[in-house]
Structure 1
């Protein structure tokens, strides 16, 4: 029903806003961009067509309607940020192909030892760290079998009383879901909205956001949210009284089953480490080298094809592995950036600036809190990629209306649209852990609502106070 409504509603909105100028009073070009945006946003939200297919519509309709030139609409699909994300995806494929992600997770859990709360902490750290480099959906799907095996092991060994074991199960599964989302906040490739932030900043504001700059801003925020998550789950909602009776031998057994690191794992790990160091050191590299986050990502990706594997023919990656690359996400990027470029080129951003001027009298911190709350709860029922692609261009005009730096509003959009914790439909990690039949809806709603409130406070404070410092505004 949602898809059918969207399929009809999208064209209706397009026709009203494009063919009836008096509705907005806009000139032809910005009116065309607004009409195309409403059509695309409606189809993104309702998934009337597959999201990657809808993401191609700006390439077709923006030139035809006169919203912007074909060159402007098309060039966004080849934006450097798209290729940075592609490089990150390719590196993630190699990590998964050679089981390096599982070894990292099991080592962290093994090192944390020796009671149920420590296992939850280890799982949290492992999930969040992996999610910094791999999509939150892939991270959750990788960690879910590990969590379920831990739950089974603890229940069968009767380490905990039945009531405590039940609390541990719920806490561990929610840890996987929430840590996968929170960990993605920390890097530009960890979450789609983060990369949209960097891309729109470059295309619309002509301001670069480096990998290191984003981490300087977002890593402290991520650590605070993870700390809050740990205490909410283990000390408040699902407190396990006999926590000390559990060991982490399961992780050590899993590492024994994996055996010694293969040469392919070691080489993949070295490439991953090299790329990570170059990303984080990007600010200190001389500009004359023209080394960017995108070139670093693609260098790492190509290197994985050049380095030969010992146990299989070809390199650490072969072209057949690219069938697993999420091409749809790259098209989604392109569609969002195409709309953002058209916003700027047509002057639609200035119109939004005037429209949103009514909130100017309010204190900036109050505006930030209200905006963070609205976006965070909106993304509970909408895709975070749809929310960020829809609101990121608008946020530039909104910032102008309230005389704030655009980065502050864009940062709120990027962070808030990733933090959806209340419902199984909110994020792929939530849906994945809910499918395990260990959680009730009320468990996720209660824990998610509390974490939402914490996220609103942390994101608002960080966006207002720390973001200007981290980005040197």
Structure 2
């Protein structure tokens, strides 16, 4: 039987209480930690500037995780505290806020906003769904494939918000066509599987590209700021896309065959709903076609940049993204009315707070590296060298996956990336072997509505409960922990030329 609508107010008291108290506790704990660091002498072997940097890092991590104040506001602390404590000049503290990866994400967001303005993302989604058929299990697969593909380029939240009403239309059709829904548990399972499938596919799809989810871009910015190396768009896809290709069908199988098996043979009228939705869009407009061309050319330039550079062109992923965004501002739709494909009214919808968070995280990472704090952490961790690398990777991935059930994905990545990279160096390993799994893990939270916006959005639909989400989520968490560890240990070696047990010179500044 389809569950009666539920509201977020029905969340279990312990989780709700923890969520309510965390900001208050964090608001007090963060400054106390910083004060303790400033009053106490640094540990043996640590420079005073590194110790002060650790204090600022503890304050920022506490406020990020607890959301004591708005996350972007916490991210501005380096601009005040680093010059005040002598850790860095204002120029050094501020320069990471203009890291090229921030402009890559900005350009990617603008491309996504243009798709949303002209409903191109909706047309793409409906075509994918229609192509995979309208049998119940096929519909779930179609919704998941469309959600995953779009979330590689458009924000996970926007993709979920777009897919939700289409999915609800199909579920409501099932309810209307069933005289006694309580006699058909498969119909209830269809609603749960479809809602969870949309949310989970949006989170999984975002892993595929550098702009798919903020932790990915944050990682690329971090390694550039801390070690001076670049992670290219195509290079990331060599790891991210295979992870999506493996994780998505496994998630579909778990939802529709094991956790919430769908027993309906067909959905009467399902194809009509999809056809009606497609018909409502009409023929592709000129604006849609322009956005599609600009998007395709931009994505192609990202993917084939190494080949273009081999021909003498000087390119960067950030430059390509901004060029694509500028093209949308320059291409007219109606010169007399001054209408262009993208305008500033739409561009202002950018998640500016995320870009500030990037800057704060990168500024902190730069200070951790520059003051020698990263090296000190690495030396202290060296004692764990007896543990197999895969065990350390598994432990890091597990901790971050379950931590992000209650904390911001991006803030968690910002707090953990410098630490796990230092741990890798202490073990004599390439920092990428722990940093990449950590960044991927930060986007994999499937158990709780508060874990990610897609989870919260589908939970608010009223067609699933927290226990249903938690039951599927814990299985998905464990699955992604294994997949991330396995694929990172294999594909990262190939895509990034990493050799286990070999510490590259750039990791130690040599």
Q: TM-score, normalised by structure 2?
A: 0.90
Query: Per-residue deviation at 1:198?
Result: 0.8
CA contact (8 A) 1:177 1:433 kept: yes
Query: Per-residue deviation at 1:21?
Result: 1.5
Q: After superposing the two structures, state which structure 1 stretch, 18-27 or 130-139, moved more.
A: 18-27
What are the residue-to-residue correspondences of 1:234-245 with 2, within 5 Å?
234-245=256-267
In structure 2, C-alpha distance between the alignment counterparts of 1:360 and 1:85, rounded to whole Å: 36
CA contact (8 A) 1:139 1:180 kept: yes
1:373-421, Cα deviation, whole Å (9 max, x unpaired): 1111111111111110001111221111112111111111111111011
Q: In the alignment, which residue of structure 2 is the partner of 1:284?
A: 307
**Alignment CA distance shift 1:413-1:41 (3 Å):** same
Q: In the alignment, which residue of structure 1 is the partner of 2:85?
A: 65
Q: In the alignment, which residue of structure 1 is the partner of 2:151?
A: 131
CA contact (8 A) 2:87 2:367 kept: yes
Q: Determine which of 410, 416, 419 is the counterpart of 1:391.
A: 416
RMSD of Structure 2 on Structure 1 (CA): 1.6
Q: In the alignment, which residue of structure 2 is the partner of 1:37?
A: 57
CA contact (8 A) 1:379 1:417 kept: yes
Q: In the alignment, which residue of structure 1 is the partner of 2:322?
A: 298
Q: In the alignment, which residue of structure 2 is the partner of 1:338?
A: 363
1:406 paired with 2:431, answer yes
Query: Per-residue deviation at 1:22?
Result: 4.6
Query: Per-residue deviation at 1:284?
Result: 1.3
Q: In the alignment, which residue of structure 1 is the partner of 2:280?
A: 257
In structure 2, C-alpha distance between the alignment counterparts of 1:49 and 1:403, rounded to whole Å: 37
In structure 1, C-alpha distance between the alignment counterparts of 2:249 and 2:37, rounded to whole Å: 46
Q: Determine which of 179, 185, 198 is the counterpart of 2:207.
A: 185
In structure 2, C-alpha distance between the alignment counterparts of 1:283 and 1:447, rounded to whole Å: 40
Q: What 5-or-longer segments of structure 1 have no aligned partner? A: none
1:186-218, Cα deviation, whole Å (9 max, x unpaired): 000001111011111111111111100000111
What are the residue-to-residue correspondences of 1:72-471 with 2, within 5 Å?
72-158=92-178, 162-246=184-268, 247-286=270-309, 288-310=312-334, 313-471=338-496
Query: Per-residue deviation at 1:267?
Result: 0.6
Q: After superposing the two structures, state which structure 1 stretch, 237-246 or 104-113, moved more.
A: 237-246
In structure 2, C-alpha distance between the alignment counterparts of 1:9 and 1:73, rounded to whole Å: 24
**Alignment CA distance shift 1:51-1:24 (3 Å):** farther
Q: After superposing the two structures, state which structure 1 stretch, 179-188 or 156-165, moved more.
A: 156-165
Q: TM-score, normalised by structure 1?
A: 0.97
CA contact (8 A) 2:42 2:51 kept: no
Aligned residue pair count: 473
Instruction: List structure 1 runs of 4+ shifted beyond 6 angstroms.
Output: none
Query: Per-residue deviation at 1:323?
Result: 2.3
Q: After superposing the two structures, state which structure 1 stretch, 125-134 or 356-365, moved more.
A: 356-365
1:154-209, Cα deviation, whole Å (9 max, x unpaired): 32233986422211000000001100100000000001111011111111111111
In structure 1, C-alpha distance between the alignment counterparts of 2:493 and 2:38, rounded to whole Å: 38
